Amino acid sequence: MPSSFRSPAEIAEGLEGIGYLADDALAMAVHLALGLDRPLLLEGANGVGKTEVASALAQLLGRDLVRLQCYEGLDATQALYDWHYARQLLDVRGGSSSSADVFTRDYLLPRPLLTALEAGDRAVLLIDEIDRADDEFEAFLLELLSDFAVTIPEIGRVAAPSPPLVVLTSNRTRDLHTALRRRCLYHWVAHPGAEREYRILRARAPHVAPELARQVADSVARIRAVVLGSPPGVGETIDWASALAMVGSATLSPQDAAATLSALIKDVDDQQRVAERMADLVPSAP
Ligand SMILES: Nc1ncnc2c1ncn2[C@@H]1O[C@H](COP(=O)(O)OP(=O)(O)OP(=O)(O)O)[C@@H](O)[C@H]1O
Ligand SMILES: [Mg+2]
């Protein structure tokens, strides 16, 4: 199923239609990943929309989202397949199969990677937070990322009938190997600027009045320019705007901002830093 989107602009427009506001560089990276059949590696801070873009793309392309959440200790069997032990046992005991016959595809329980490979271009495979997995797991992914195939010892090589769109994300908690990077297209997802974040707020929090949304987006841009341990992500901006709307702010005041800061800043030192500069970050209404 080749992508019916002929240009980055069409992709950006399609994503916007389902509430995801991509910048030009991200739309281009997606366009290239689809056209060149290459995995797309997205790195960026927390909450910049890395995970969400994969599900938005699945929706836009009309494909299934197959998600693999990575964590320390994740290994190939958990990610790829398992054997259907109960069925193997039953069939061997019942005499319908010999013990050699129960290591075939019929007895495999596909996990996300095998599910996505078998679905081919009917799937978007999200390998989320690859930096949380161990080195060995990264090495195991190399065959999949370059050939869209894996080797299962008892069965042999399983290749995708057509390449799935593969999106990998990383928060950069550790460096990924060059071998993995080289197999992917790379895009750094930055925090949105005030204008794009305003549009995100209009799409994702339509109950927040436009004027308040504008002031929230402007203030968040200023707050991100302060050196913080953990700058707020887009999800926090949406929460903050919703919190302000909930307490009845028609426009943003330093007082309401301070009262609702729990929705935006999730660290005590960062809250302190913002509170100290509140008058500059959230100007009082003229
Ligand atoms: N460009 C965007 N357009 C619309 N919504 C966005 C955009 N970017 C982020 N969001 C919203 O912000 C929230 C956080 O996004 P997401 O979970 O994808 O971030 P992330 O980069 O995966 O963060 P983490 O690294 O913490 O997993 C989601 O609710 C998402 O809908
Ligand atoms: Mg994420």
pLDDT per residue over 30-47, tens digit each? 999 999 999 999 999 999
Whether residue 102 is predicted with pLDDT greater than 70 in this model: the reply is: yes
pLDDT, one tens digit per residue, over 123-180 is 999 999 999 999 999 999 999 999 999 999 889 999 999 999 999 999 999 999 999 9
Mean pLDDT over residues 45-67, rounded? 97
Q: Token pair of 101, please?
A: 């016959």
Is ligand 1 within 6 A of the CB of residue 199?
no
**Strand intervals (E) in 46-153:** 64-69, 81-83, 108-110, 123-128, 149-152
Looking at the CA of 44, which ligand is closest? Answer: 1
Residue nearest ligand 1's atom 28 by CA = 235
pTM of the model: 0.94
State which of 230, 234, 237 you would mutate to test the pocket of ligand 1, scoring each by most atoms of that ligand within 8 A of its C-beta.
234
Over range 12-31, report the average pLDDT. 97
CB-CB contact of 96 with 37 (8 Å): no
In this predicted structure, what is the pLDDT of residue 172? Answer: 93
CA-closest residue to ligand 1 atom 6: 49
Mutate to test the pocket of ligand 1, among 51, 167, 224 (most ligand atoms within 8 A of CB): 51
Alpha-carbon torsion 210, 214, 217, 219, what sign?
negative
Cβ neighbours of residue 114 closer than 8 Å, sequence gap 6 or more: 80, 81, 108, 150, 158
Instruction: List the CATH code of the domain at 8-82+108-189.
Output: 3.40.50.300
> Domain boundaries in the chain?
8-82+108-189, 194-280
CA distance 247 to 259: 9
How far is 229 from 276, CA to CA, in rounded Å?
15
What size, in residues, is the chain? 286
DSSP H/E element including 112: helix 112-119
Q: Whose CA is nearest to atom 7 of ligand 1?
A: 49
> 241, exposed or middle or buried, with CB in 10 Å at 0-12, 13-18, 19+?
buried
What is the pLDDT, as a whole number, of residue 188?
Answer: 98
Residue 36 to residue 185: CA distance in whole angstroms: 10
Structure tokens at 185: 């297209």
pLDDT of residue 95: 86
Residue with tokens 């997606």: 30
pLDDT at 93 over 80: yes
pLDDT digits (tens, 9 = 90+) for 225-234: 999 999 999 9
Mean confidence (pLDDT) of the chain:
95
Six-digit token pair at 244? 């302000």
Query: For residue 124, what are the β-bridge partners?
Result: 65, 165
pLDDT at 4: 79
Counting atoms of ligand 1 from 1, which one is nearest the CA of 53? Answer: 18
**pLDDT at position 283:** 82
Confirm if 33 and 6 have CB atoms less than 8 A apart. no
Tokens of 261: 């800061």
Q: Give the residue among 278, 275, 226, 224 at the shortest CA–CA distance from 252.
A: 278
Which residue's alpha carbon is at the smallest distance from atom 16 of ligand 1? 49
Closest CA to 55 of 45, 47, 64: 64
138 C-alpha to ligand 2 centroid (Å): 18
